Amino acid sequence: MQIWPGKPYPLGATYGGSGVNFALFSEVAERVELCLISDDGTETRVEMPEHDAFVWHVYLPTIQPGQRYGYRVHGPYDPAKGHRCNPDKLLLDPYATAIDGEMQGSQALFGYSFGDPALGLSSVPNAVDSLGHTMYSVVTNPFFDWGKDRPPGHAYHDSVIYEAHVKGLTMLHPDVPKEIRGTYAGIGHPATIEHLRRLGVTAIELMPVHQFVQDFTLLDKGLRNYWGYNTIGFLAPHNGYAAYGTRGQQVLEFKTMVKALHEADIEVILDVVYNHTAEGNHLGPTLAFRGIDNDNYYRLVGGDLAHYYDTTGTGNSLLMRSPHVLQLIMDSLRYWVTEMHVDGFRFDLAATLARQFHEVDKLSAFFDLIQQDPIVSQVKLIAEPWDLGDGGYQVGGFPPLWTEWNGKFRDTVRDFWRGEAATLGEFASRFTGSSDLYAHSGRRPVASVNFVVAHDGFTMRDLVSYNDKHNDANGEGNRDGESHNRSWNCGVEGPTTDPAVRALRQRQQRNLLTTLLLAQGVPMIAHGDEFGRTQQGNNNVYCQDNELAWVDWTLDADQESLLDFTRHVMRLRAEHPVFRRRRFFAGSADHGGESDLGDIAWFEPDGEHMDEEAWANGYAKSLMVFLNGRAIRETDSRGGAIRDDSFLVLFNAHYEPIDFVIPEASYGRKWFVEINTAGDVEDAKPTVASVAATSGVLVPGATVTVQARSIIVVGCPLDDEA
């Protein structure tokens, strides 16, 4: 075998058409062996002869894509000093762009002996070879025919995000061929794309697709890691979602999926997990980073280097002040944008990424690198703005470039529709983009990614069907998952045949969807919520890789009706820029942005303007908002004025019907019902039969009966405005 010196950059295994350059960073290593794994599992070790600036490298001119490989790092094993090198462990390449195989539960994967009374802290390493028990890195072919692919480039204010799971979305889809269900190819199939297109979403946010590992504790229970928040390969698409092979085929399949979604004008956003890795705490397996350079990759406890500093609840946190960690993160982000053509990222537990030392720091190196990077700074960046550390709930605390999951929107909207006592000012602020959270940093309403439901909790249907979590299937005695869900079962816990309860649950789902989709900001819905999917009360399906968590596409009449309704509301949002403003309303957040500009106005049900007493009423459950389509201050993409229909949104979260009075003629002369969440839905657009109106037209002073716990949206065409 010819062995050439190679180059220290780029890191990873780089195929150039006639050979492969291998490069691995390790400051602590004394020597490094590249291990080539044949089809029959035979290992060929190649000494890496060169190292520059702690990067070990070699070039092998005969190696081709599909070659499996790993590393053995020779260096100190001294947990007390933060070092855990062990050449008996075959290690994954942190820069691997594909990974083959799955871990096998074995002593061989661990750097210590299970019987060691020191529990992983002994200075004597376990010498069992992990070859045959671990996963393998794979050399991939970077060449791909992208054709005329281009990023859809949807502006934030035009965006509707659809959070989905690669496997769960298509595993039960009857129109997707069985052989590709639950895969990247399944997402890219015309049946899946047609559903997304008809729904009206502009971006699909995929739950983790970085290569992750299975937890041994789950496998022992007959369960599997479903969500995927257990990353080991930051540049590799997870091989479990590949239909056509795992020796590099998963990369081509992923690219083909992205290309198909782009052709349908749908962006691809990845949920990325850079805050920790799958190696866990000091008792976890040695798979990659721990054995390569533990002290440089992980944040260790000061004064106790044998243990890991953990703000994620997973056992470890990456060392965010390490230039090598930061380089890995930035290199992988750029890779996914430039080579895989993704359009943005949602950062799991993003507050952890900003902890260089203790507190969350908006001036951290991570944010600085993102800000100045010419590639990553130009794609969509969404933070999950919390972690488990001190001050970990950071909603509104991120720099101007970022948008954030708005957990306060979720909590406020849930509380409002379950009838909790709260000020209407809080609800109005959330509905108008949460300027109290984002305006101080110079951001716009689109900084708020609004959601009512996400993957980690109840589905929307379960939110209105259960008071309590029902997680017994997870094997943890129902102790796991969130206990305070702000849910309401509408009178019966779980499934029921009671027609009144079923009707109320349908109405509540329509209320939640309407509030979400018509609020200022960027709405995000979770897969299946558009037609009321259920997880039978389980609010933590992280380990339920089965029919409980997968989307069931067999829809009953109620679900078909809800799907039609959701499409209608999303179409209304898309057609009217008054619901998609780029700037905050001028007034104060706790008064719903109302000011002398007249771009928005808030009313009590009797048609009178909200006064201070009304805003402070903690028991009021009903109000009306006027959205003025003639007073949109921003311009369109070509600098022209934006003029739109005006709308009144009548909210009644009370348990009894309430009569609303249409405001005076200066707000509009003729109003037509666009949405009635209490009405029967036909073609997703109810009639005005349930309101006091003549010939379907509402005029100033007319009384509109809004049924208990429902919304009516009425629109005034631009030509009929005063």
How far apart (Å, rounded) are the C-alpha atoms in residues 406 and 420?
19
Paired residues of 705 in beta bridges: 659
Q: Is 636 an active-site residue?
A: no
Number of Cβ within a 10 Å radius of residue 362: 14
User: Read out DSSP for 338-382?
Assistant: HTT---EEEETTHHHHT-SSSS--TT-HHHHHHHH-TTGGGSEEE
* Collapsed DSSP state (helix, strand, coil) of residue 449: strand
Question: What one-character DSSP code corresponds to residue 79?
Answer: G
Spatial contact of 466 and 493, defined as CB atoms under 8 Å apart: yes
How far apart (Å, rounded) are the C-alpha atoms in residues 629 and 382?
29
- Beta strands at 448-450 and 403-405: parallel, antiparallel or unpaired: parallel
* Collapsed DSSP state (helix, strand, coil) of residue 234: strand
CB burial string 424-437: b at 16+ within 10 A, e below? bbbbbbbbbbbbbb
* Collapsed DSSP state (helix, strand, coil) of residue 603: strand
The encoded tokens of residue 357 equal 């030392």
How far apart (Å, rounded) are the C-alpha atoms in residues 697 and 675?
14
Q: Which residue has the tokens 């750097």?
A: 111
Query: CA quadruple 267, 564, 186, 100: dihedral positive or negative?
Result: positive
* Collapsed DSSP state (helix, strand, coil) of residue 31: strand
Q: Which residue has the tokens 């009425």?
A: 714
Rg of the chain (C-alpha set): 27
CB burial string 198-216: b at 16+ within 10 A, e below? ebbbbbbbbbbbbbbbbbe
Question: What one-character DSSP code corresponds to residue 279?
Answer: T
- Point out the catalytic residue in the list 205, 253, 310, 348: 348
The encoded tokens of residue 568 equal 């209608």
Q: Is 659 an active-site residue?
A: no
Number of Cβ within a 10 Å radius of residue 293: 25
* Collapsed DSSP state (helix, strand, coil) of residue 47: strand
* Collapsed DSSP state (helix, strand, coil) of residue 312: coil
Angle of helix 190-199 versus helix 249-263 axis, rounded to 10: 40
Q: Which residue has the tokens 């739950």?
A: 207
How far apart (Å, rounded) are the C-alpha atoms in residues 674 and 651?
14
- Point out the catalytic residue in the list 384, 411, 545, 645: 384
Quickly list H helices, 215-359.
Answer: 216-220, 249-263, 289-297, 323-338, 350-353
Three-state SS string over 674-686 comes to EEECCCCCCCCCC
Question: What one-character DSSP code corresponds to residue 302?
Answer: T
Q: Which residue has the tokens 């299946």?
A: 528
Q: How many angstroms separate the Cα of 249 from the Cα of each of 328, 359, 447? A: 23, 42, 37
Number of Cα atoms under 13 Å in the Cβ half of residue 160: 27
The dihedrals phi and psi of 64, each to the nearest 5 degrees, come to -125, 165
The residue type found at 696 is G
User: Annotated active-site positions, please?
Assistant: 348, 384
